[in-house]
Structure 1
Amino acid sequence: MSDKPESSKTQLEEHLNQPLLQKDFLSQLPVEVAYRIIGYLTPCDLTVCAGVSRTWQRICEGDRTWRIKCLEKGYVKFDAPSFRFLGGWAANRANEEAGITICSHMTFQEARQNRREREIAYGQCYERSSWKSLYLRKQRIISNWRSRPIQSSTVLKSGRIVTGWLDDNTLRVWNVDSAQPAFTLTGHMNNVVTSQVSDDGKYIVSGSYDRTVRVWCGQTGVQRHVLQGHTGTVWCMSLHGTTLVSGSSDQTLQVWDIVDGKCLQVLTGHMAEVRCVQFDGKRVVSGSFDSTVKVWNVQTGECLHTLTGHTNPVLSLLFEPERDLVVSGSEDRTMRVDFASGREDRTIRVWDVRRGTCIAILHSHEMLIGAHYGMQLRGNILVSCFTYTDVGVWDIRNGGSCIHRLQGVNSHTDYITSFQLLDSGLLVTSSRDGSVKLWDVDKGTFVRDLVRLQADIWIWRLFATETFLLCVDRSRSLSGTEDRDLILIDFDASYP
């Protein structure tokens, strides 16, 4: 055989191997082994291989296979398609009349045609494999954020539209899907400065300059309780289940049962007003104008730790109880990933709360971190303002490093007012320059502009979920009064 020419060898090998290649080897393997092999394929490969045979289709299209792909990406089941575009959402022409440009918006005719296609919430793919349909829906939503023309948006006009920080002592609650006001909460005797909604939507809680915390029914807006006990402004609160922790300028935190309206604990120890608080059901973490962060046992009221190092008031906090991490931000131009403390050397320090040791130092933070900016943590990626007009991205592992600065020709030209990090790795930022921008945090790149406002209007706050964006703008009318609008943009998609 060795004397045969090379071409003859090749022909002989093909002749011997051809029958083996024609066999459906996957159907002859144990099921567990077959799924293990298919698990190495990419989603695109799975789609192609599903056409090989019925056996391949059953495995490649099955829920078992696509559930793994969803979990690898962190995709979990979420709410059904909202169909906001079928409710009270206005056409994009209303945005233009309000001096608001929704970038890359479909024309009215294009949007109407696309909406017809979206009116089917669950397509044929969902019937075959709900997990594959979930994966594809998630990819559609991400694509809607990144590049596809925006088809559905609306502007809600009102002089008193935000659920707090108002001049008339009220909160207004809106139904986002129908773009209609649900009810107005009246009762506070001074401006509302903080509010939260319970996870199940049954309760709304609010704190005010009037030194009270009020509990409202989330369905009807009826006032349930007036929680009295603070002797100063209620600046912050954190709700877990039906237990609420409130922080005040009276230097205390109070723990409340919002069902029966009773005070369960008073936490004392701060030497100045409390401006931020986080609560996980067992531990309370608070930041104060006394430049410290304190950790409390909510059952006993005992102060477990006092974290020192900030030289100015602590204005913002993040708490990740699963990893015993706290992120604290201060006017001393430092952030702390705590059990963390930063110093005036412009560092971010990462601490292990159980051992009380510093496990990482993050350098080169130059920005004042306050309540208006905040910090967000996704896995090991920390996002916060780096300067007044750009955002920094840090990896808190291996000593910590700033891996990206979101800046350049597409960066904001005025103060950043708000931002939100999505699970998909996208970051939405707003600014006094009247723009809302989208960034890819993993790559550190600019994606696109979402909103642009005329010169006398600017974005005050934003809030984003995986499927929609809400922006609050502010402007001055000719009479000198302040006007506020809600801008809502829909990125939802149906199940294929």
Structure 2
Amino acid sequence: MLENDELEQVDGAFAAVPRALTVTRPPSPTPSFRTESYSIINWNPEYPSAYAASEEGAPYCLPPGRRTVSGYYAFAGPSPLKPSRSLTLGIARIWDALREGSPGKKNKRRPSLPSVSVWRDGVVTDDEDGIREFIDYLNMPPLDGEEGELIDDEACFINVTRITGTDIVGHLPVELALHLLSYLDLPAILACLRVSRRWSHLARDNSVWRTLFQRRESDGWRADLRRAAKPMPIRSSLSASRLLVPAPLEVDWYGTYQTRAELDRRWTASPTIAGTETQGAAAWEPKVRRISGHKDSVYCLEFDSQRIITGSRDRTIKVWSLKTGRCLATFSGHRGSVLCLKFDKDWDLEEGDDGSWCEDDAQRIWRRGFMVSGSSDCSICVWALYARPGAGDGSGDGEVAAEMAAVLRGHSGGVLDLRIDSRWIVSCSKDALIRVWNRKTLQLHCTFRGHEGPVNAIGMQDNKVVSASGDGRMMLWDITSGERLRIFEGHDRGLACIEFKDDYIVSGSNDCKIKVWQASTGMCLRTIVGHDLLVRALTFDPRSGRLVSASYDKTVKVWDMHTGKMLREFRGCHVSHIFDVKFDHCRIVSTSHDQKVVVLDFSDGLDVSLFV
């Protein structure tokens, strides 16, 4: 017979067990996500239990009770608590459901779960020392709760019907909720529109869609709020501006985003809706406008958001309305064909205090711009451009005028291409030379020599000039030092056109190929093949990756410069050789030997006035 000091009283039960057979339960661990498992009751794998652990080492959920070496000890005799029949039947039914497993695995009982009879009638077990004990699982007392522990059933089973969500975003102040939504991408914002009325109202907020639009700037999405400016109703002495530019959130950014996305979709050959290719749908066809007015071949063009300026073999320069195609002005000054030209785009949208505009009357103001043109007469003409709003005829085209400010001479051959920025005017010629002029003083800064044939085209960026020659080579020059930095070789025949933007140089050649180069390394990144004759002109946008080329094969092609894939091809725009091509976010403009200027407009029916 064991003495009292050798027995251990079981908490919450009228029973005692030998102290040698008890195990003191350690304190419950603090739940941590750094462990591989989340356990409410500390598990010690050194102690065997009534039910073995799984093969992975994770224990099964066990019935509540006090753990000992031999399993769960309960009462030495019958329980003083009378079991409830309804509780017994309820637990039995639940246990049957658990043992049956998932609906997809009927009649496959879960191993290591005791039968219903064990729960209802209890079980008599023998341990290794031969001590018999009766375990009444049904009336087993809960844990003592001294350490805030949950009983095993509460740790393993959750009544999902009692779980209710809390709309955290909906309960936040509007400013905080909008700030949270500003971190989401487009698919997430579209999902928020379907959550609830509150979320839909927040997800449609103008600030959210403005943020989404600004994130697409890397794809070439840009908006200029000055294009939405309206004349001030009352002249104010507090502001030198005559236009009222809207605040950023006064613009409908939700509609603006939709319009810009639709515009991008129209450029693709395979129409898509919500990212899924539409079977059997035809590619969107741009609206075609043909402009006539020149009396001979149209060699060059440039355009901005309001006007197209072209140079022709008829020795004239013409200004056309981009909106209506109407001829706004004609300038003469060269004694030969106008082969190239460049001007400051949208100069009448700029405000300046350095004499960049002059006042004609109280309501209409002439704003001054800058243009240069090169000719087969070996000269470069420098022009002062002037523009002002229309006289109220309803066309909205405005008026344009020009006067010749200077003539730059120095080339001994026809001037084939020009580039300008805020500091320099760069020209190239049939005489195989590249000349750099100071834009403010109009004095010659330096001359680059190195090509063995006519320099047909040039590109300029950040005080660097790249030249393309009929000798089949390209050269990169530094204006500041006057040195040649690199020679590019790879085309099989002479080069006809070139563009230089960011770290990309794109060239077109008489070998019918287009090559994409990395300016910093001189490496050819990609060769694009598709034209049948000389590639006469090209231009590209490094942000969107869109490249447009024109050829003597009478086609205009749109490419993805990063993959070399052709996106669109336009035939029949011209009936003769195409000499020049330019594009922006919503249109392609080309000129040809057929004396026509052709505009392919992808924005028909869309308000694209803000886009640049």
What is the TM-score with the length of structure 1 in the denominator? 0.61
Q: How does 1:151-170 map to 2 (within 5 A)?
A: 151-152=284-285
Task: Tell me if 1:467 matches 2:594.
Answer: no
Tell me which residue corresponds to 1:254.
Answer: 381
1:317 alignment partner, SS class: strand
Task: Tell me if 1:406 matches 2:528.
Answer: yes
Task: Tell me if 1:2 matches 2:124.
Answer: no
Q: Partner amino acid for 2:416?
A: R
Tell me which residue corresponds to 1:243.
Answer: 370
Q: How does 1:361-440 map to 2 (within 5 A)?
A: 364-370=490-496, 374-385=497-508, 388-397=511-520, 399-407=521-529, 411-422=530-541, 424-433=544-553, 435-440=555-560
Note the alpha carbon deviations across 1:71-126, whole angstroms, 9 max, x for none: 232212489xxxxxxxxxxxxxxxxxxxxxxxxxxxxxxxxxxxxxxxxxxxxxxx
Q: Partner amino acid for 2:378?
A: Q
Tell me which residue corresponds to 2:446.
Answer: 305
1:328 alignment partner, SS class: strand
Q: Partner amino acid for 2:437?
A: W
Distance apart, 1:151 and its partner CA? 4.9
Q: Partner amino acid for 1:333?
A: G
User: Mind listing any 5+ residue stretches in structure 2 that lack a counterpart?
Assistant: 1-39, 44-58, 63-151, 226-248, 272-281, 348-368, 387-400
Q: How does 1:61-76 map to 2 (within 5 A)?
A: 61-74=204-217, 75-76=221-222
Going from structure 1 to structure 2, the CA distance change for 1:452 and 1:331 (only over 3 Å counts) comes to same
Going from structure 1 to structure 2, the CA distance change for 1:216 and 1:133 (only over 3 Å counts) comes to closer
Going from structure 1 to structure 2, the CA distance change for 1:150 and 1:73 (only over 3 Å counts) comes to same
Distance 1:309 1:470 in 2: 33
Tell me which residue corresponds to 2:258.
Answer: 136
Note the alpha carbon deviations across 1:300-336, whole angstroms, 9 max, x for none: 222223233323221112334xx33433221121234
Given that residues 363 and 402 in structure 1 are in contact (C-alpha distance below 8 angstroms), is that contact kept between their aligned partners in structure 2? no
Distance apart, 1:488 and its partner CA? 4.5
Q: Partner amino acid for 1:41?
A: L
Q: Radius of gyration: which is bigger?
A: 2
1:329 alignment partner, SS class: strand
Distance 2:502 2:199 in 1: 35
Distance 2:303 2:572 in 1: 33
Note the alpha carbon deviations across 1:173-203, whole angstroms, 9 max, x for none: xxx3xx6x6x7367xxxx4655656747578
Tell me which residue corresponds to 1:49.
Answer: 192
Going from structure 1 to structure 2, the CA distance change for 1:443 and 1:129 (only over 3 Å counts) comes to farther
Counterpart pick for 2:437 among 267, 272, 296: 296
RMSD between superposed Cα atoms in Å: 4.6
Given that residues 333 and 368 in structure 1 are in contact (C-alpha distance below 8 angstroms), is that contact kept between their aligned partners in structure 2? yes
Tell me which residue corresponds to 1:443.
Answer: 563
Tell me which residue corresponds to 2:474.
Answer: 335
Note the alpha carbon deviations across 1:390-442, whole angstroms, 9 max, x for none: 32222334x243222223xxx33444344443563233444455655432222
Distance 2:164 2:485 in 1: 54
Given that residues 310 and 319 in structure 2 are in contact (C-alpha distance below 8 angstroms), is that contact kept between their aligned partners in structure 1? yes
2:544 alignment partner, SS class: coil
Task: Tell me if 1:145 matches 2:254.
Answer: no
Note the alpha carbon deviations across 1:460-491, whole angstroms, 9 max, x for none: 355544334466788xxxxxxx8989585646
Distance apart, 1:276 and its partner CA? 1.5
Q: Partner amino acid for 1:460?
A: I
Given that residues 299 and 592 in structure 2 are in contact (C-alpha distance below 8 angstroms), is that contact kept between their aligned partners in structure 1? no
What is the TM-score with the length of structure 2 in the denominator? 0.51
Q: How does 1:95-110 map to 2 (within 5 A)?
A: none
Q: Partner amino acid for 1:66?
A: W
Distance 1:354 1:271 in 2: 24
Tell me which residue corresponds to 1:184.
Answer: 293
Counterpart pick for 2:456 among 310, 315, 319: 315
Distance 2:378 2:262 in 1: 48
Aligned length, in residue pairs: 386
Going from structure 1 to structure 2, the CA distance change for 1:47 and 1:304 (only over 3 Å counts) comes to same
Q: Partner amino acid for 1:390?
A: K
Distance 1:10 1:49 in 2: 37
Going from structure 1 to structure 2, the CA distance change for 1:58 and 1:226 (only over 3 Å counts) comes to same
Given that residues 473 and 487 in structure 1 are in contact (C-alpha distance below 8 angstroms), is that contact kept between their aligned partners in structure 2? no
Note the alpha carbon deviations across 1:143-199, whole angstroms, 9 max, x for none: 2222132455667xxxxxxxxxxxxxxxxxxxx3xx6x6x7367xxxx465565674
Given that residues 297 and 592 in structure 2 are in contact (C-alpha distance below 8 angstroms), is that contact kept between their aligned partners in structure 1? no
Distance 2:547 2:305 in 1: 26
Q: Partner amino acid for 1:237?
A: L
Given that residues 181 and 203 in structure 2 are in contact (C-alpha distance below 8 angstroms), is that contact kept between their aligned partners in structure 1? yes
Higher RCO (CA < 8 A, seq sep 6+): 1
What percentage of residue pairs aligned between the two structures are identical?
22
Q: Partner amino acid for 1:246?
A: S
User: Mind listing any 5+ residue stretches in structure 1 that lack a counterpart?
Assistant: 80-126, 156-175, 342-350, 475-481
Q: Partner amino acid for 2:450?
A: G
Note the alpha carbon deviations across 1:331-376, whole angstroms, 9 max, x for none: 121234xxx34xxxxxxxxx4x445566766563445222xxx223
Distance apart, 1:31 and its partner CA? 6.6
Going from structure 1 to structure 2, the CA distance change for 1:390 and 1:273 (only over 3 Å counts) comes to closer
Tell me which residue corresponds to 2:130.
Answer: none
Distance 1:204 1:457 in 2: 21
Given that residues 508 and 536 in structure 2 are in contact (C-alpha distance below 8 angstroms), is that contact kept between their aligned partners in structure 1? no
Going from structure 1 to structure 2, the CA distance change for 1:16 and 1:467 (only over 3 Å counts) comes to same
